[in-house]
Amino acid sequence: MLMGLLAATSLVANAQGTSNPLGIVPGPVPGTLTVSLWTDKSSYVIGETVRVYFTVNQPAYVYLYDLQPDGFVHQVFPNGYSQANYVSAGTHSLPDAAYQFTVTPPTGTERLQIFASLTPLALVPNAYGEPFPQVGSSPDAARGAIQPHILGIVPTPIVATAWTSFLITAPTQGVTPYPPYYSPYPPYPPMPPFFAWFPGGNWYWENGQWHWGNPAGGWSWYFGLDGQWHMEIRFHFGN
């Protein structure tokens, strides 16, 4: 995740023409609305930024979801930095404000699913506890949380959906995907970073900065798949 006004999230995409996986909603409601989705690359290294493109054939409300390789599902648009999700007909790109989509662990194939609707679907959180809120720990859990909002609207909304996906790979050895993060408040007694991260990766405190990776010795914090920080202590003996 980037610092300051820039935010980051692990993203997804799909090779056009491939079969679609079982997503948040089984299928679109038939209608004249169409939507397509793609990214600027088909493969990314952890730490790279992603630009997402989509096209709608008429003005619509747009919702974008990220299905990570580990099963976690996040809403990445609208988000805590950009809530204006009613767009005109044509091609658009995301990010659309002062934030970024930055690829984070885990590695593997990620998928994005987009919904376009002629009717607002009440899928925007009342408050953003995190910029890209988690909606489920699996596609099934996300489907249970989102599908009632779509199918429970009367009259039945016209909804179109599309997929894209990309491969996430680890950086070459010695390359750090995140720059050090300066904090004016040292973590004493040892406390986890105050910023929130997506699962995967260790952070440790050294010379007034948070560093991504494992220290040669001492304590570090790991943000686990359970969404919690875990303290790790590393001992170094000899060489």
Rounded to whole angstroms, the Cα distance separating 77 from 84 reads 9
Among 12-21, 63-72, 82-91, 133-142, the range scoring the smallest mean pLDDT is: 12-21
Residues 6+ apart with CB under 8 A from 239: none
Q: Which two tokens stand for residue 216?
A: 């040669």
Q: Is the residue at 51 inside a domain?
A: yes
Backbone angles phi, psi at 149, to 5 degrees: -65, -30
DSSP string, 65-94: EEE-TTS-EEEEESBTTB---EE-SEEEEE
Residue 158 gets which letter from DSSP? -
Q: What is the pTM of this model?
A: 0.67
Q: Closest Cα partner for 136 from 235, 67, 231?
A: 67
pLDDT for the residue 18: 41
Average pLDDT, the chain: 76
Q: Closest Cα partner for 20 from 111, 95, 143, 142?
A: 111
Cis peptide before 69 (omega within 30 of 0): no
User: In this structure, are 142 and 66 located in the same domain?
Assistant: yes
Over 80: is that where the pLDDT of 87 sits?
yes
Q: What is the pLDDT of residues 144-155, one digit of tens each?
A: 667 665 655 444
Q: Is the residue at 30 inside a domain?
A: no
pLDDT level of residue 113 (50, 70, 90 thresholds): very high
Token match 């989705």: residue? 37
Q: CATH no. for residue 71?
A: 2.60.40.1930
pLDDT for the residue 36: 96
Q: Is the residue at 60 inside a domain?
A: yes
Which of 149, 169, 189 lies at the terminal end of a domain, its last residue? 169
Q: Which two tokens stand for residue 101?
A: 């989509």
User: In this structure, are 137 and 204 located in the same domain?
Assistant: no
Which of 145, 169, 193 lies at the terminal end of a domain, its last residue? 169
Residues of the domain holding 109: 35-169
3-class SS of residue 163: strand
